[in-house]
Amino acid sequence: MENNRIIDLCWHDDETKALLNKCAEEAGFAIEYGRLKGRTEQDLIDSVKGYMAVIAGDVERFTRPVLEAIKDDMRAVMRFGVGYDKIDTVAAREFGIDVIVAGGGNSTAVADIAVMYMLALGRQICNFDKEVRAGVWKRRRSPQLFGKTVGIIGFGRIGRIVASYLSGFKCKILVYDKYLTKNVFARYGVQESTMDEIARTCDYITLHTPLTPETRGMIDKEFLSKMKPTAYLINTSRGPVVNQADLFEALSNDVIAGAGVDVFDEEPIARDNPLLTLDNIVLSPHVAYNTNEANALSSEILIDNLSKALKGEYCEDIVNP
């Protein structure tokens, strides 16, 4: 292989780097680890030019000018997870660059946190913890997850695993995904639904949709106003899927009972973000995907996908075939 160099721009720890190195070496690749020195397009070009592939992080924007500048050597722009909204997939295809994700690598990890949020929010675990530490011993009643109605918006790998978890809680599951056929819903024992019905009837609503022009801001003031005042919203997909200002207003005015949020418009979240002032929201720093098991599996999947792409073999995780 004439050029087998991969540059990794992610904030991977030493354990994950070791996993990636092992997988890469077995496949005949050599991984180098780098950091962007700035946020301009030229900074990104300078960081990745000359490499055969790049593992992109959450902040790098592979725009048309960037892709055109690196097209001579670059064969693939990869994501360690599944989000690729910061990559111009159309331009990448024009320049012969595959956009590759690690499909399925972190699906169970994200599903874990989605269900964890449902339990933590309903049972008020975070608030109870704060109160006990502060010397407050107040026994409030709280709703259980068992038997509740849950809405899943986006029914790909993660959404389907969430559904399988919730079946153990005997939940009624409503699903909105306009791109699936009816037999898919029947196969997983869920009920096909509309956004409006999910908003009006569900006790918990969890988002598992990619960020696209169609889904950007899809959870807005209108949607939130239809939700039950006892309902909870969980977002582990992408920050801009939810209108953050509208969510703050809904939580501040008890339009909904609470929210669990792992992803934000701006990451890291700004210290003056008004969501940080609320008690009815549980926050985490975009870590839903980040488990020991998910990192190991994602490493294997990503390198295997790159090998398939370079050989011209079919790979379902090439998002711009």
Please confirm, yes or no, whether 208 is among the known catalytic residues.
no
- φ, ψ of residue 295 in degrees (nearest 5): -65, -40
pLDDT, residue 293, reads 95
According to the model, what pLDDT value does residue 38 have? 77
Tokens of 236: 């582990």
Catalytic residue among 267, 300, 313, 316: 267
Question: 238 catalytic, yes or no?
Answer: yes
pLDDT of residue 1: 47
- pTM, two decimals, is 0.91
Residues of the chain with pLDDT under 50: 1
Q: Which two tokens stand for residue 200?
A: 């009006």
Integer Cα distance of 321 and 319 in angstroms: 6
Catalytic residue among 238, 266, 293, 316: 238
- Given CA atoms 307, 311, 315, 317 in this order, what sign does their dihedral have? positive
Q: Which residue of the set 60, 208, 286, 300 is catalytic? A: 286
Distance CA 193, CA 181 (A): 12
Domains of the chain and CATH, by start: 5-105+291-311 (3.40.50.720), 107-283 (3.40.50.720)
For residues 167 and 111, give the distance between their C-alpha atoms in angstroms, rounded to a whole number: 13
CB 291 within 8 A of CB 8: no
Strand ranges inside the chain, DSSP E: 5-8, 30-33, 53-56, 76-79, 98-101, 149-153, 172-176, 191-192, 204-207, 232-235, 258-261, 281-283
Assess whether 286 carries a catalytic annotation: yes
What per-residue confidence (pLDDT) applies to 37? Answer: 75
